[in-house]
């Protein structure tokens, strides 16, 4: 009987040891599961942040491209001379374009260039050149246009009359802060 009692005691000890090991294993699995849940939440938050960052980056590049397109519509302070040269070179059909005066106008947040120019040549060349200047790919507004026929002796001897168009233009310019961001 003592032998049965020993076996019974050994079985109970083995059962209790297994039960303790099972509870320890359960506690470890529960702790690791909680840790895994935390890691998954952090991973999800990081993935969400990466997605937002990517979409913001894409939106910023689209806005930057649009801003550059809009800024190209205006004359930067560094591009005034080149703009005037392009205006003087825009004569169509032999018309001569001469920029007579350039000054600044507008406000600090919305600056403009005030340009006075003259176009000389045959009537059709003068009118086409005036159209080219008015429809230039910039913010150009024609404030006045006067057209007159000049009676040049050499032109009349050649059988064609010379025409002179005097134009006053307002050209949109970039503010100083936008100029520095447009060039970078």
- Residue 153 sits in a domain of what CATH number? 3.30.70.60
The predicted pLDDT at position 184 comes to 44
Cα–Cα distance, 137 to 44 (Å, whole number): 48
pLDDT confidence band for 182 (50 / 70 / 90): very low
For 15, list phi and psi in degrees, rounded to 5: -65, -45
3-state secondary structure of 35: helix
Confidence of residue 154 (pLDDT cuts 50, 70, 90): low
Q: Are residues 96 and 116 both part of a single domain?
A: yes
Same domain? For 94 and 151 the reply is: yes
Which domain covers residue 61, as residue numbers? 1-71
Half-sphere exposure of 176 (CA within 13 A, CB side): 3
Tokens 């961001």 -> residue: 181
Q: Is the pLDDT of residue 4 over 90?
A: no
Tokens 């529960």 belong to 30
Residue range 11-65, pLDDT digits in tens:
899 999 999 999 999 999 999 999 999 999 999 999 999 999 999 999 888 888 8
Mean pLDDT lowest among 30-34, 85-89, 161-165:
161-165
Task: Provide the number of structural domains found in the chain.
Answer: 2
Q: What is the mean pLDDT of residues 112-125?
A: 92
Same domain, 97 and 176: yes
Total-model pTM: 0.59
């Amino acid at each position: 009987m003592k032998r049965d009692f020993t076996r019974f005691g050994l079985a109970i000890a083995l059962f209790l040891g297994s039960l303790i090991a099972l509870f320890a294993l359960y506690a470890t699995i529960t702790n690791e599961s909680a840790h895994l849940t935390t890691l998954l939440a952090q991973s999800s938050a990081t993935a969400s942040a990466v997605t937002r960052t990517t979409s913001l980056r894409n939106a910023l590049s689209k806005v930057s491209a649009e801003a550059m397109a809009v800024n190209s519509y205006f004359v930067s302070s560094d591009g005034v001379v080149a703009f005037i040269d392009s205006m003087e070179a825009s004569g169509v059909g032999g018309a001569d374009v001469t920029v007579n005066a350039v000054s600044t106008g507008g406000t600090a947040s919305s600056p403009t260039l005030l340009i006075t120019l003259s176009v000389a040549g045959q009537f059709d060349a003068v009118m086409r050149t005036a159209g080219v200047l008015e429809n230039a790919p910039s913010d150009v507004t024609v404030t006045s246009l006067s057209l007159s026929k000049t009676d040049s002796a050499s032109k009349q001897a050649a059988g064609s009359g010379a025409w002179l168009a005097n134009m006053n233009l307002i050209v949109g310019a970039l503010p100083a802060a936008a100029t520095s961001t447009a060039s970078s």
